[in-house]
Structure 1
Amino acid sequence: MTIFAPLSLSALAPLAQAVQSGPTPSGATLESLTATEWNPPRTPLGWSLLLGVGAALLAWTVWLYVRDTRRLPRILRAGLLALRIGVLVCLAVVALDPRERTQTTAVRPSRVAVLIDTSQSMQLPADPAGADAEETRAEAVARTLADSSLIQELRRRHQVQLFRFDSDAELIAELPQGEALDAAVPDVSAPLRGGEAAAALGRLEPDGRETRLGEAVADALRQVRGPTLAGAVILSDGGQNAGAGADAAVGRAARDGVPLYPVGVGGTERPADVRVTDLSAPTDVRFAPERERQDPFEVRAFLAAEGLAGQTATVALTRAPAESDPATTPGETLETRTLALPADGESAEVTFEREPTEAGRFRYTVTITPPPATREARADDNARSAVVRARSRPTSVLLIAGGPNRDYRFLQTALARQATAEVDVLLQSIDPAELPGVTQDGDVLLAEFPKNFPLRPPGEARPESSPDRYDVVLALDADWSRIPAEGVDNLTRWVDRQRGGFVFAAGDVYTPQLTDEALYGPVRNLLPVRLAARSLVEASDESTRPWQPELTDAAAASGVLDLDPERPGDVSAWAAFEGFYRAFPTRGAKDLASVLMLHGDPRTTGDGATVLIADQRYGGGRVYYLGTSEFWRLRSQGPELFERFWTNLIRAAAEGRATEGDEPALFLIDRPETPVGEPVRIAVGLRDARGEPVEAGTVTVTVEGPDGFPAPGSPLTLRPVPGRPGRFEAPFTPPRAGRFTLTLDGDDVGMAADVTATITARLPELELATVRQDVPTLTALAEGGTGRYLSLAEAAETLPGLIESRERTVTVEESVRALWDVRWMLFLIVGLFGFEWLVRKLSRLA
């Protein structure tokens, strides 16, 4: 049984001699308390024994000294008794064990984690149906943190640890308990005071591309776990769109015993919305100033709506210079239409057909205006733009034919009538010596394949605006034995490096020579099909009847087989076509080729079916294969069908060269429109006067952001691409939504003017799909523990009172010093005994 034990420090607080306190770097407050404590009995029995023994010892001592000193004088008797009682008192003090105890304690403050959603969905309106529909969710959070007493009230009882989260969680500030906000974190407190725009919040800017709500909350709890964590406040719209669900956060909170208090941001009702989901337009079109009517092109928009089915909206097409700022130059309205909005989940298509009116680069924008009095969740998706370049220079075509077959005669005549094409003709059946006396439609009649291909031979009748390089080569059953190997190499490099368009039409006269495996390998490599062996070609019998062609699924999407200008993408006109008699036999298409048409002869079906039309990418250019020389038979349905087919084919083949152009420098951007945060490959192609790639160390490009200032990472340093001479690339990641302008200094590349291009960054649909607050997800967070779901409006008033303090006081250091265990106490006891002994000796006592 314990009889003696130390007194508690708190019980002896009045004996404290000194109190010192001060904050530690971790936020805990240190307190140092020094007090004197004794070791008396703890039980009545102990006190009884102590007092009884003490009284008996004292009585015995008094009786003994009274007996032994009765013959001594009174004063001497009292002195000896006092000396002995003094010794007893000293021993009693030693028995009571007086000690000085010094304790250093740390008061660890209660902590609250405040997690702020910084995903891009926080850029959506806080309440589209409210009075201030322009305020974003991030701005509403900033206003609450700055203008309300939420943070201040929480800091009265807790230390506040501030997190940002989207795909992960990051601790960005710690606000000590009770300390002034300005002094605690000057870099964060300033934007918290403003509350006018989320962009001013620095590291709280809503730019996250996805929301991993469950994982981020669990990660934050892991970072700040501990017994003093009183709760976690989550300010979010609940837009969980990636990673583990809310269960991850609930499970972590349950293990740590931490209540979760989700604060919902954003409207709870799904607002009405209209949007342009996609826009399709050609990148390049031809403009011939001398023509009254231009070749039309289409701008096709796809529209969607929510909550407005059957109501009427207005769709407008506008045009503005491509280099202009959409914010300040909306452009000229070309056409306006009204349409009934589709039901939720469905889409509507609107097609505008336009003709170019002048040369240049123009931005065509389709804008949808919702019905009157409609409050939308977001308005930035109501318009989409595409840049179309109208080129005034005609397409330069090199027409090569082994002989004057019917396809050649009809095609050469049709091209000669087109103002949008300049045609040079190489008819290989003409003797070069007789060439001066030959009359032939075409700009230039050639005697041989151009020696400096792809440069066009000089022609006296050509205007200065004529292109100096070929855009398309049409080879109609050409005699490849009369084209030198150097010319074939130039043709291959032109398709690969300069994005040339090559159309190969097979025939019965000269194409069989290409089946010789020992010869013409470079030509066969260009083709998207594998030609049959010579034995199969010679064994194939002439058909006695036409076979209707079979169109594949890729036919309509290609645009080449559209024969009805009133119905783009409609290839049904081929159903009325009688068909082709003969087709050059093939062993199928190559792996990366796209087959558009097959011969209908049932003897050639299956894996080795004879291909009539196929195409493939070859480097930067495109190659088309025509498996017959009987396309002239289309004229039986009308001459315009034959001309339209070849016009479509030449336009498609020339698309690469139209984009490449003849300039010595050109931007090549894989995605002119990209989601925010997605890297875009910025490429620049450099060529010399002959069109050959230019070797250089690096190329510098400046990037201007939507605000007119240099974008982060500008200037870009583009480096050479291995294996791609004259091409320089570097990645660029748009940090926010808007239009970014790329500029290449013209002086650096030998051009009179700077070379520019634009990139439009849009917010990803993954985040923008969260148009309303996900209350069920946020409620699940709260109900998984002991927390509570709150709206943003009630958070400032209610939340601080819900979170109980978990402040803890712990002893970090303790020292004890025995007060009796000192030298002078020993000297005192020995001195008292010694003086008593001396007096007794002098008094002749035993």
Structure 2
Amino acid sequence: MNPLRRLFEWLLDLKPSAPGQGTTWNLSSDFPWPTWVLVLFVLFAITFVIAIYRRDAGHLAPWQRWLLSALRLATLGTVLFLLSQAMLLIERTGLPYLLVLVDVSNSMGTVDSSTQSAEVETGRRLVETNQLGPATRLAQAQGLLLDNNGQLLRRLVANHKLRLHTVAEGDALLGPESSLNDADVDSLLPLIRGLTPAGNETRLGDGLRNTLNSLRGSPPSAIVLLSDGVSTDGESLQTAAQYARQRSVPIYTVALGSTDPQLDLELHNVLVDETAFVGEPASFAFTLTGRGLTGKTARVQLRNESTGEVLASRDLTIEDDGRPIKQELAFTPRQVGDVAVIIEAVEIPQESNTANNRETRRISVRDEKLRVLLVDQQPRWEFRQLKDLLGREKTVDLKTVLLDADPEFVQEDRTALANIPVTREELFEYDVCLLGDIPPGTLSATVLENLRDFVAERGRGLLFLSGPRHAPESFRNTPLEPLLPVELEGIRKPAPQDSLRQEFRPELTPEARKGSALFRFADSERESQEVWSFLPGMFWSVDVQILRPGAITWAVHPQKLVQGRPVPLIVTQRFGGGRVVYHGVEETWRWRYRLGDTYYGRYWVQALRYLAHSRTAASEGSAELLADRKAYQAGDPVTLRLRFLNERLIPADPAGVQLVVETAAGTREQLALRGLPDLAGVFEGQLAHTTAGKYHVFVASPTFPHAPPALDFEVRASERESRSLRAEAGELNRVSTQTGGRSYTISTASRLVSEIPPGLPVPLEPESPLKIWNHWLVLLAFATTLVSEWLLRKRWRLT
């Protein structure tokens, strides 16, 4: 501060300025005369005083006359000052703000393999000098701020109030509200050193706007942004820069990272059946996307997680940069049991992100196939397509009975039987029976009784396939009628002569989406629902009015209503120890149109496994633990559901299910599941704030007679962030140009301080006006000049 100003503050008893503050002084007056009168009076007074002393003090030296004239004029000036009623207006000012934004998203954790030697060398020097570990983009930003004990920050606080923010998914203030001196900078340095890449998304535009809005009323003189320019979500950086330009705030960017294409292999969309069979291929469908690798070859392999043995491998050529390649890879298991299989794209030299190269899937290997019996009267489309599908399915041993078939059919078709098995022993060899459009009276009472016991006693699965001629009403007043999940009273069907032109697509109920894995067509519940909504539609359906108690509806008609409720089309229930499913449609074969067996086959294989699940329910704990997805991104909530297969094990307490969640690091936490009011026997809970890693979950309460249900899932870092690794230096340069700032690289950032404008002082609250016309100093000045003139006149003998 100016020493003279400091003296006046002491004399006037003014409060000294705080650190980072200054003052602006203005003088105001309320003189009783007009200005022109005052000017004339001053001119007259000067002329008159000089003339008088020239006349009366002619014998004195010139300097003596001028001194006496000055004292007389000073006395008159003091009088005029007293008449002016002068007041001092003091307005305190603060230093302008300067915002420094540091990008801490996951892309800033990239170690670039660049050919730009000057940038690489400068970045490495900063990182090594400040002992920051690997030369990631964030480490280079930290090195720039920490270098020479924070010299850059210390130079900035000389003319600014500094605010440091981090930005990724959101923005956060780092350190104090403002840094004003070296001591504040000293407190910032450890915080800067402790920064780590953490954000799963980069919202640079949102962060820029939010930090600007945090200083409403006093916009900063400039913003310094240290980033790679990668923005994956939220408002665009360009739009936020336009907002900064409207507020006259220039943005100075420091571009970090290489603009060269980043080499990356991403393995995603992995699909595999959870059950495999000894001696039969287990196929893994996957998608491989390569970036910066056009024309290169990548190897995808299956590996046993526990032994490390490579089970299968395949080389693929990356033809187009960023274009997904859909392929399959299979291996043949040789032993019974559960096995964790890693499917991975083998890392390539200088690959920028290896976290998205692999996924783990657990499959259960069995030594037996599902034995399925398919029965119908005629070879309608549903029968033909099902027969073809299941006949090719490696995990199914299919037998068919076509009641109206010629005798030659049995000899020509390896799956065909002459008659439905009559004895209990023969029938009980099967796991699932599919009953089609069978006319009444075709099956003997013994066979019907055996089918009933097949489900109730043997714990097998039965699926009723409705048809336009007979089923399901053909089972009225038979031993199989109680097995149907729907009442046959009031049933209606389209007449054979009806022209069916209204296409519909069955709608899945919450029970189907959340309570069953049968309708899982993709990794997540949302993606499975999207697949279902795009499957080809149907035209024919059965209208039923009443469900049996305990039946669960999985799909309904989207337009038809019966008694104000949607017509149920796919319904299930438990009967004794087994399961029963009812199909009120007969056109699932339409799902093969342009899609082949991709989803048609997946649905029917999963339906067979659902129906055969009761066979192993005792050994599997009579409950199944499900997750809404198999893989998650960091921060995603994980929804876990426990579905009881044995009603006797359902706890009476709605919050009676406790899970234990274990991480690969050995940490544990408990999660309570609550019963869903609209889904009997289903308990659900959510695990929030997940971090990347592998998780193992098992049921701690209630207890089970055998091993409790358990599952494993994996949480990975954000794929969107990892897919955008190439630095967007051009975007940062456009932002700087748009706002009137400048763009730098890590090697030119040393010019940053000298090129940032100092900014204008920011007015703070003004203080109350100070009356100085009647201050004792003014009276002292008046007395001093008056007495001094009188004494000098006496000394020099002037009367």
Could you state the TM-score of these two structures normalised by the residue count of structure 2? 0.63
Please give the per-residue CA displacement for 1:245-280, whole angstroms capped at 9, x wherever unaligned.
344223222222111112212211112322323322
Instruction: Give yes or no for contact 2:312–2:331 (8 Å, CA) kept in 1.
Output: no
How far apart, CA to CA, are the structure 1 residues paired with 2:53 and 2:179?
Answer: 61
1:114 counterpart residue number: 100
The residue type equivalent to 2:761 in the other structure is R
Instruction: Give yes or no for contact 1:264–1:775 (8 Å, CA) kept in 2.
Output: yes
Instruction: Give yes or no for contact 1:34–1:100 (8 Å, CA) kept in 2.
Output: no
1:368 counterpart residue number: 345
How far apart, CA to CA, are the structure 1 residues paired with 2:328 and 2:487?
Answer: 36
Q: Aligned ranges for residues 729-748 of structure 1 at < 5 Å?
A: 729-745=684-700, 748=702
1:17 and 2:11 are equivalent in the alignment: yes
Aligned with 1:474 (options 431, 434, 458) = 434
How far apart, CA to CA, are the structure 2 residues paired with 1:345 and 1:91?
Answer: 88
2:275 counterpart residue number: 284
Q: Given the superposition, is the C-alpha separation of residues 347 and 586 from structure 1 closer, same or farther in structure 2, using an over 3 Å criterion?
A: closer
Instruction: Give yes or no for contact 1:313–1:340 (8 Å, CA) kept in 2.
Output: yes
Q: Given the superposition, is the C-alpha separation of residues 665 and 191 from structure 1 closer, same or farther in structure 2, using an over 3 Å criterion?
A: farther
2:154 counterpart residue number: 152
Instruction: Give yes or no for contact 1:676–1:733 (8 Å, CA) kept in 2.
Output: no
Aligned with 1:502 (options 439, 463, 476) = 463
How far apart, CA to CA, are the structure 2 residues paired with 1:168 and 1:331?
Answer: 40
The residue type equivalent to 1:382 in the other structure is N
Q: Given the superposition, is the C-alpha separation of residues 343 and 33 from structure 1 closer, same or farther in structure 2, using an over 3 Å criterion?
A: closer
Q: Given the superposition, is the C-alpha separation of residues 254 and 623 from structure 1 closer, same or farther in structure 2, using an over 3 Å criterion?
A: same
SS for the counterpart of 1:238 is: coil
The residue type equivalent to 2:179 in the other structure is P
Please give the per-residue CA displacement for 1:742-763, whole angstroms capped at 9, x wherever unaligned.
2332x53235655432221223
The residue type equivalent to 1:816 in the other structure is L
1:792 and 2:746 are equivalent in the alignment: yes
How far apart, CA to CA, are the structure 2 residues paired with 1:160 and 1:681?
Answer: 43
User: Per-residue deviation at 1:191?
Assistant: 3.3
How far apart, CA to CA, are the structure 1 residues paired with 2:693 and 2:203?
Answer: 25
Instruction: Give yes or no for contact 1:128–1:375 (8 Å, CA) kept in 2.
Output: no
User: Per-residue deviation at 1:57?
Assistant: 11
2:260 counterpart residue number: 269
How far apart, CA to CA, are the structure 2 residues paired with 1:401 and 1:225?
Answer: 76
How far apart, CA to CA, are the structure 2 residues paired with 1:790 and 1:646?
Answer: 57
The residue type equivalent to 2:636 in the other structure is E
User: Per-residue deviation at 1:813?
Assistant: 1.3
Instruction: Give yes or no for contact 1:503–1:653 (8 Å, CA) kept in 2.
Output: no
Aligned with 1:773 (options 695, 712, 727) = 727
Instruction: Give yes or no for contact 2:339–2:364 (8 Å, CA) kept in 1.
Output: yes
User: Per-residue deviation at 1:112?
Assistant: 0.8
In structure 2, stretches of 5+ residues that fail to align are 57-72, 125-132, 404-418, 499-516, 520-537, 544-552, 558-568, 574-578, 588-599, 784-799
1:338 and 2:323 are equivalent in the alignment: no
Instruction: Give yes or no for contact 1:401–1:479 (8 Å, CA) kept in 2.
Output: no
The residue type equivalent to 2:425 in the other structure is V
Aligned with 2:359 (options 365, 384, 391) = 384
SS for the counterpart of 1:378 is: coil
1:544 counterpart residue number: none
The residue type equivalent to 2:303 in the other structure is T
SS for the counterpart of 1:343 is: coil
The residue type equivalent to 1:384 in the other structure is E
How far apart, CA to CA, are the structure 2 residues paired with 1:177 and 1:647?
Answer: 65
User: Per-residue deviation at 1:783?
Assistant: 0.8
How far apart, CA to CA, are the structure 2 residues paired with 1:646 and 1:674?
Answer: 26
1:301 and 2:286 are equivalent in the alignment: yes
Aligned with 1:719 (options 660, 666, 674) = 674
User: Per-residue deviation at 1:167?
Assistant: 5.0
Once the two structures are overlaid, the 10-residue window that deviates more, 752-761 or 651-660, is 651-660
1:140 and 2:126 are equivalent in the alignment: no
Q: Aligned ranges for residues 87-236 of structure 1 at < 5 Å?
A: 94-97=79-82, 105-127=91-113, 135-147=135-147, 149-173=151-175, 174-181=177-184, 184=187, 189-194=189-194, 198-199=195-196, 205-209=197-201, 211-226=202-217, 229-236=220-227
SS for the counterpart of 1:724 is: coil
How far apart, CA to CA, are the structure 2 residues paired with 1:218 and 1:648?
Answer: 48
In structure 1, stretches of 5+ residues that fail to align are 1-7, 62-87, 200-204, 288-293, 322-329, 428-437, 447-455, 457-461, 463-469, 538-557, 561-584, 596-614, 629-644, 830-846
SS for the counterpart of 1:252 is: helix
How far apart, CA to CA, are the structure 2 residues paired with 1:401 and 1:228?
Answer: 78
User: Per-residue deviation at 1:653?
Assistant: 1.6
2:532 counterpart residue number: none
The residue type equivalent to 1:813 in the other structure is E
How far apart, CA to CA, are the structure 1 residues paired with 2:612 and 2:22?
Answer: 76
The root-mean-square deviation of aligned C-alpha atoms, in Å, is: 6.0
Please give the per-residue CA displacement for 1:301-325, whole angstroms capped at 9, x wherever unaligned.
332323333333333210125xxxx
SS for the counterpart of 1:180 is: helix
Instruction: Give yes or no for contact 2:641–2:673 (8 Å, CA) kept in 1.
Output: yes
Aligned residues: 634
How far apart, CA to CA, are the structure 2 residues paired with 1:500 and 1:693?
Answer: 26
SS for the counterpart of 1:653 is: helix
The residue type equivalent to 2:140 in the other structure is A
User: Per-residue deviation at 1:145?
Assistant: 3.0
Q: Given the superposition, is the C-alpha separation of residues 58 and 798 from structure 1 closer, same or farther in structure 2, using an over 3 Å criterion?
A: closer
Q: Given the superposition, is the C-alpha separation of residues 523 and 395 from structure 1 closer, same or farther in structure 2, using an over 3 Å criterion?
A: same
Instruction: Give yes or no for contact 1:17–1:33 (8 Å, CA) kept in 2.
Output: no
SS for the counterpart of 2:635 is: coil
User: Per-residue deviation at 1:19?
Assistant: 6.9
SS for the counterpart of 2:726 is: coil
How far apart, CA to CA, are the structure 2 residues paired with 1:164 and 1:784?
Answer: 23
2:704 counterpart residue number: 750
How far apart, CA to CA, are the structure 1 residues paired with 2:167 and 2:253?
Answer: 14
Q: Given the superposition, is the C-alpha separation of residues 501 and 240 from structure 1 closer, same or farther in structure 2, using an over 3 Å criterion?
A: farther
Instruction: Give yes or no for contact 1:624–1:653 (8 Å, CA) kept in 2.
Output: no
Q: Given the superposition, is the C-alpha separation of residues 534 and 818 from structure 1 closer, same or farther in structure 2, using an over 3 Å criterion?
A: closer
Instruction: Give yes or no for contact 1:264–1:791 (8 Å, CA) kept in 2.
Output: yes
Q: Aligned ranges for residues 667-686 of structure 1 at < 5 Å?
A: 667-686=625-644
SS for the counterpart of 1:654 is: helix
Identity %: 19
Q: Aligned ranges for residues 389-538 of structure 1 at < 5 Å?
A: 389-391=364-366, 395=370, 444=425, 472-475=432-435, 477=438, 502=463, 504=465, 513=474, 523=484, 525=486, 532=493
Q: Given the superposition, is the C-alpha separation of residues 116 and 503 from structure 1 closer, same or farther in structure 2, using an over 3 Å criterion?
A: farther
User: Per-residue deviation at 1:769?
Assistant: 2.5
User: Per-residue deviation at 1:651?
Assistant: 6.4
How far apart, CA to CA, are the structure 2 residues paired with 1:489 and 1:94?
Answer: 122
The residue type equivalent to 2:642 in the other structure is V
User: Per-residue deviation at 1:231?
Assistant: 0.4
Q: Aligned ranges for residues 656-671 of structure 1 at < 5 Å?
A: 658=613, 661=617, 662-671=620-629
User: Per-residue deviation at 1:774?
Assistant: 1.2
SS for the counterpart of 2:154 is: helix
How far apart, CA to CA, are the structure 2 residues paired with 1:780 and 1:172?
Answer: 27
Aligned with 1:760 (options 714, 723, 726) = 714
Instruction: Give yes or no for contact 1:262–1:789 (8 Å, CA) kept in 2.
Output: yes
Q: Given the superposition, is the C-alpha separation of residues 261 and 102 from structure 1 closer, same or farther in structure 2, using an over 3 Å criterion?
A: same
Q: Given the superposition, is the C-alpha separation of residues 23 and 55 from structure 1 closer, same or farther in structure 2, using an over 3 Å criterion?
A: closer
How far apart, CA to CA, are the structure 2 residues paired with 1:401 and 1:15?
Answer: 105
Instruction: Give yes or no for contact 1:16–1:33 (8 Å, CA) kept in 2.
Output: no
